[in-house]
Structure 1
């Protein structure tokens, strides 16, 4: 998703739980995943190229860093905040870069509100139909040049990032579902950590 939406989702889902300085570091680490260095050779950051297993392992790895940091003595909680930001970027991008929303709408009433979407429907997460957009060079790069976007789409296959992404409202009504799913997933990831962390570790993590 575009930077502004990652920022908005983090604040909506986490703003009441974290101190402002913690939220700023979480958000900075989140959006830094979209830097140029993170766009090449890091499909796990964005769930691109059907890297679903790889993306899930990356999320688990970052969660492990959070726990290890907060268990350790004398380690700044900023390390855990940065790991959480990286984790959330991947979790949020999953809904924008996959056909999860489409499969959810197929399973449910197509007129269901975006507010109703469940981000962790097991039947969809395990479905052989679940896939994420493939990046086709150079046309998926050309896609990001707005005056050339329509030209790029004519040459890109339907399973490309260009055709599949729900990164902004320009992609149509499914964007709202992707945003709602990503916000709910963000809350879920925090709630999971609330269960895993001791009260002392949690207090250090939220910085309040």
Structure 2
């Protein structure tokens, strides 16, 4: 997912709940997950390569770090762990076929605007980000990274040349990192906002009032 979308999603989900200082650290940690150091060999940070179990485990590892950091009075480390955690949660919707599966319930065909047919789905703000039957569907998939060609697909002027060379299950073909002619990104965006909010609430529920005050920095 593009940097500007991670920023907007995070601000919309929790901007009213945490201090500006906390939000800045959380957002910065979120964005660092897309740095080169966190790309190669770290598919679990992004729900890539069908690493669902590993990515869920990573989310819980970071949640545990949030709590442990706060218990020793280190709010900065807690905010960074939370930023890393929600980056992964947000990428779930951009890198998997969760949203196409959810929309298929309404006979909606995620093709180009000119070819689209089928039913009319609920508007993006009504998307369900945690449908149990989709979460537990063994057919749920996320994009695979076929390096080195995959890396070239991230370069805008090369993307159209590289896409035909990559399998249909590649990240380049499957991702919803930005708006495109499939018309799914608004649902991805709103699902990510809702999931970020859910992760915030789940984390906050683990904290005592005094520790929660450290976390939200208010």
Same fold (TM over 0.5): yes
Residue 165 of structure 2 aligns with which residue? 155
1:137 aligns with 2:147: yes
Instruction: Give the direction of change, closer, same or farther, for the CA distance of 1:119–1:172 in structure 2 (3 Å limit).
Output: same
Structure-2 separation of matches of 1:107 and 1:54 = 27
Candidates 179, 187, 196, aligned match of 2:197: 187
- Aligned-CA RMSD value: 1.1
Structure-1 separation of matches of 2:190 and 2:106 = 16
Show structure 1 runs of 5+ residues with no match. none
Residue 44 of structure 1 aligns with which residue? 44
Residue 8 of structure 2 aligns with which residue? 8
Written as runs of structure 1 = structure 2, the 5 A alignment for 1:1-208 is 1-72=1-72, 75-108=73-106, 110=108, 111=120, 112-170=122-180, 172-208=182-218
Q: Which has the higher helix share?
A: 1
Give 1:109 deviation, angstroms.
5.5
Structure-2 separation of matches of 1:142 and 1:69 = 38
* Local SS of the residue matching 1:170: coil
* Local SS of the residue matching 1:62: helix
8 Å CA contact 1:165, 1:171 repeated in 2: no
Give 1:171 deviation, angstroms.
5.6
Give 1:172 deviation, angstroms.
3.1
- Return 63-72 or 177-186, whichever deviates more: 63-72
* Local SS of the residue matching 1:135: coil
- Return 100-109 or 82-91, whichever deviates more: 100-109
How many residue pairs get matched?
206
TM-score normalised according to structure 2 size: 0.92
TM-score normalised according to structure 1 size: 0.96
Give 1:118 deviation, angstroms.
0.8
